Structure formats: C-alpha cells, structure tokens
C-alpha cells in the first residue's frame, strides 16, 4: 500500500495582521535611560545616499556613536569626508566583503561594537531597484523610526520605561505586506533558529521587520549575534531577492528578542491604518506585542 504523504500547512500569500503603536507619544522621560549607550549602525553600500539620511539622524537628540559599513576603500573615503565634519571621532567606518547585504556587515563585521551598546538603531542606504513600487520604502521606514525629534524621543522613552521591550520595528510598508511570509526562507530560518535555541514549527504566518531597519536593545539581538556566523556563512552577492541567509536572519529578529526574554512592537506615524493594521496608543501597549507563534 502506498504511503500517504503529509503535506505542510499552506503558507498564506499575504502578510500578517498586526497592531502598531502610534508615534510620537508624549514622552515621560524624554531621553534614554541614564548611562545608556546608543549605537547607530548604517550599511552604506550606496555610499552617496548617506546624505539623505543625515536630516533623519539629526532628529536623535540623545548622544550616539555612529558605525557605518561599506564594501570599498573609495566608498569609505567618501563616507568619512561626509561624516567626520558632523560627528568627529564618534563615527567609525568599516570596509567588509559585499556579502549578506546590510545584515552580515552589522551582525558579523560590527558584532562586538553592537554588544558594547545598550540600544542600537539599524539603518541602511536601501534601494529596491528591482521594483518601482518600492521606491518610497526607505523613507517610510525612516519616518516611522526617526522621522522627527518627537518620534525619536518617544521611542527612547518606550525603552526607558519598558524594560521588557526589545525591538521597535517600523510599520510594514503596504507594498511589501504580501511578501511578509516565509517565501523560500523557511529551511534556513529553522536551521538558524535551532542553533540559537528556538524550535520553529511551520506557522501559517510570520512577522518580522521587513526591510531590516529597527531600534533594539543589543541584548535582544544577542541570540543572533552569538551564532558565530562569519562572512563565509552568507552567499556571494548575485542580486537575490529571497532565499538567502540574510533573508533568514531578517525573519529571526523577533524570535531572537523573545529568546532573550524581550517583547517587540511595530510603531509609526499616521492615524490612518491599512486594513491589515490596528492602531493603538501608549496606554494599550500590551495589545501591540508582536506574536511569534
């Protein structure tokens, strides 16, 4: 008798429904917790696009150190020429292999620098050249995370007053919402998750900071940072849009925070949520925690 094959549960073709916290909020402290060190980590593959990020960085009114990664000495020279007059010795630029997009340079190249910070902000000079509908994706995420001094102050206040908060991710850009799913990444994500002590059953939905920009406690990222990955763990760049180690790690960010004992939130401006979003205010924070299962 033929053995019956058990098929995996169907994977939805649309992204998750979720709640997001409306920013800005009225800050109670108005600053990061005393003694906290903030690190801003930017991957600048498109080095000249760093100029577009500078007005956003000016909205962070708390002191921070700036760590920038790129893939050539000529790009490094441009970045230092642009950033040193503004940030002086508080900027460090590292040159790393062009592997793993913005993920490998931060999680491998500047792993130790992240762990030396209390709070980290992950950004990159993102361009989505394969699809014109994604042209506004970068500015959308930046607006959610550091779109104004009040937005930044509200995020820092959230971390200062909620010790179990690990990650603040932007709202999901509407054009990418259908792509917030496993895609070709399930097997690699499960393998890495097991290495960091998380057992994933194949869920029907997944949620993650699509675009890999977010605020986090470095402690919430430690399960990923302690995987012992090297640049050789990442595929050579070939214009991939899915299925790489970098895509798998992007899908593990909320799981990493949970593994470390923290919770995660989506946040952003606008009181006009999409059909897949529910808007909450600061007093409803418990309703907004990201669900990882």
* Residue 4 located in a structural domain: no
| Nearest-10 crossing angle of helices 50-57, 73-87 | 20
Higher pLDDT, 112 or 11: 112
Task: Answer yes or no: is 8 within a domain.
Answer: no
Q: Mean pLDDT across the stretch 121-138?
A: 81
Q: Which residues, in sequence order, are CB contacts of 94 under 8 Å at separation 6+?
A: 67, 68, 69, 70, 76, 105, 109, 110
238 has a pLDDT exceeding 90:
no
Bridge partners, residue 19, by sequence: 278
Would residue 97 count as lying in a domain? yes
The mean of the pLDDT values for the chain is: 90
5 domain residue, yes or no: no
pLDDT-based confidence at residue 135 (cuts at 50, 70, 90):
confident
Residue 12 lies in a domain: no
Residue 6 lies in a domain: no
- Which residues span the domain enclosing 227? 18-288
Q: Which pTM value belongs to this model? A: 0.92
Coil, helix or strand at residue 159? helix
Assign residue 266 the CATH number of its domain: 3.90.550.10
Give me 251's structure tokens. Answer: 């899908």
pLDDT of res. 132: 67
**Does residue 191 lie in a domain region?**
yes
Taking only the tens place, the pLDDT of each residue in 143-200 is 999 999 999 999 999 999 999 999 999 999 999 999 898 888 999 999 999 999 999 8
- Is a pLDDT exceeding 60 seen at residue 120? yes
Residue 169 placed within a domain? yes
Number of domains in the chain: 1
- Taking Cα atoms as reference points, which of 211, 188, 208 lies closest to residue 200? 188
The span from the CA of 226 to the CA of 196, in Å, is 8
Pairing type for strands 38-43 and 119-124 reads parallel
53-78 average pLDDT score: 97
């Amino acid at each position: 008798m033929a053995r019956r094959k058990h098929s995996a549960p169907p994977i939805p073709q649309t992204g998750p429904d979720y709640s997001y916290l409306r920013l800005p909020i009225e800050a109670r402290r108005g600053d990061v917790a005393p003694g906290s060190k903030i690190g801003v980590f930017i991957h600048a593959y498109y080095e000249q696009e760093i100029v577009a990020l500078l007005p956003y960085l000016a909205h962070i009114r708390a002191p921070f150190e700036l760590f920038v990664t790129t893939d050539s000495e000529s790009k490094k020279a441009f970045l230092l020429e642009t950033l040193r007059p503004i940030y002086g010795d508080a900027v460090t630029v590292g040159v790393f292999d062009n592997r793993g997009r913005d993920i490998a340079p931060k999680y491998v190249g500047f792993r130790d620098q992240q762990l030396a910070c209390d709070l980290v902000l992950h950004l990159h000079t993102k361009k989505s050249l394969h699809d014109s509908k994604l042209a506004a994706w970068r500015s959308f995420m930046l607006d959610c995370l550091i779109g104004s001094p009040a937005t930044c102050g509200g995020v820092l206040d959230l971390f200062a007053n909620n010790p179990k908060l690990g990650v603040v991710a932007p709202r999901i850009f509407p054009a990418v919402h259908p792509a917030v799913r496993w895609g070709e990444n399930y097997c690699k994500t499960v393998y890495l998750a097991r290495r960091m002590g998380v057992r994933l059953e194949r869920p029907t939905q997944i949620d993650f900071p699509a675009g890999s920009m977010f605020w986090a406690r470095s402690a919430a990222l430690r399960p990923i940072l302690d995987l012992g990955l090297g640049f050789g763990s990442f595929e050579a760049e070939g214009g991939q849009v899915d299925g790489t180690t970098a895509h798998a790690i992007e899908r593990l960010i909320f799981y990493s925070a949970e593994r470390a004992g923290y919770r995660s939130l989506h946040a952003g401006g606008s009181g006009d949520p999409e059909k897949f979003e529910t808007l909450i205010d600061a007093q409803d924070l418990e309703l907004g925690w990201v669900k990882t299962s």
